[in-house]
A and B are shown apart, each in its own frame.
Chain A
Amino acid sequence: MTEFSPRIVAFCCNWCSYVGADLAGTSRLQYPDNIRIIKVMCSGQVFPSYILKALELGADGVMVAGCHIGDCHYVSGNKKAQERVETLLRVMKTLGLDPRRVRLEWISASEGVKFANTVKEFVEEVKELGPNQLGVRE
C-alpha cells in the first residue's frame, strides 16, 4: 500500500496566480507534483460548479487562486470569486463535503514563493484529510 498521494486541481487566473506559478518555475522552487493547473482568465470566472465537478471527479483538493483584492485585472473579479467560494464553503458542510478541501488564495505575479509554499501546505493538509470518498477511484 503506497502512501496516499492526493490529486489537486488549481484554477489560476491568467494575470496574477498563473504568472506566480511560472515564477515558481523560473526560480526552480520545488513543490509536490500533485497539482494540475487550469488557467482561467479571472478567478471571478470560476463557477462553483467547476469546484464541485472537480470534487465529483475525485479531486482531493481544489484551489482557486487570483490576484490580491484590489489588484484584480478586471477590477473586482476576485471579490466576486471570494463571495462565491465563501458561500460554497458554507454549504459544502451541509452537502457532506469537507470545506477544507477547497481553498481560495490570493497569489500575485511576484509571489512564486507563496505559490510553491501554498501548494506544499495544501498537499499536506489534504493528506491529513485522506482520499475524497466522493470521487470514484480506481
Chain B
Amino acid sequence: MKEYAIFLGCIIPNRYPGIETTSTSILKDFDIELLPINGASCCPAPGVFSSFHLESWLAIAARNIAIGEETGRDIVTMCNGCYGSLAEANHLLNGNKELKDKINDILSKVGCEFKGNSKIKHMIEVFSEDIGVKKIQEYMKNPLDGIKVCTHYGCHFLKPSEIKKHGSSERPKFLDELVRATGAESIDYKDKTMCCGFGGGVRARDIDVTLDFTREKLKNIISAGGDCIVDQCASCHLEFDRGQAEIKKIYGEEFRLPVLYFTQLIGLGIGMGQKELGLTFQNIPAESLLDKINGRKK
C-alpha cells in the first residue's frame, strides 16, 4: 500500500468536493491512501499572492509544506496552483540556504520547520506514473469510446519547465494518454496549451479579461467538436465551470460544455454516477455527455 499526504488547497474542498471524493475512492482501488494534512491553508495562489508579497507567499507555502512533511509522506496536490506554489517554494528554499534560514526563522515562531525532504507531486503524476495508463485501461468497466475530449493542461504544473521538469510545455502528452486510456478520443484544438485566464490575480481584478480567455478556449473547443473539457487543475476547473455561467450572465453566450477533472472522467469510465462524481453540483450539467455515453451504449 502506498500513502501520500494530500494537500487540498481551497477550491477542491471549498468548491468542488466531488473531485476529492472521486479521486480518493479511485485511488483506493489501486491501494493508494491519502492522509490529510491537518491545518493546511491556502497554498497560497502562486500568481496572486507572490505578486503581492513574495516573502509572505513563500512563508505560507513553506508552512504548508512543513506540516505536510510531518506526515513523513510525499505531498500530493490536485490543483496546478497548489502544485505551482508548493513546488516553486520547495525549489527556491532548497536552493538557497540563506532564504531557507530566514523563512524557518519565521516558521519557528509558530512551531514548525521547513526541511525540504518531501517531494511535491501532482495527482496527475500519481495516475500517469504510479498507476500508469495501462492499468487505467484495464480498470475501465465501460470504456468511453466515441467520446471526444479536449484536454486542458493548465500552466503551473508544466511551467517553468526548467523547475517543474515534466518535459515539454509546448506539446505535452500525458493527460491525452490518460484520456485515451478511458477509451475516449483526445482531440486537438486551437491554442490547446493556452491559459484559462484564472491566474495571476486577473480574475479577481479584471474578470472580463479572464472570461475573455475562457471564452476563446471554449469557442476553440466547441469548434473542434469536443464533447467535454478535461482538466487537471482545480482553478482551471472552476474557471471553465463557473466561468461559463458568468459568461452566460454577462455576455448572454451559452456553451453548455461539461467540465471534468481527469479523475471524474475515469470515474465515468468505471460507471460512477454523476452524483457521486459531484457533477450535479457543478454549474454546467454533464447530461449532454452522459446521454452521449448512454446513447452510444444502445
A–B: direct contact at CB < 8 Å: no
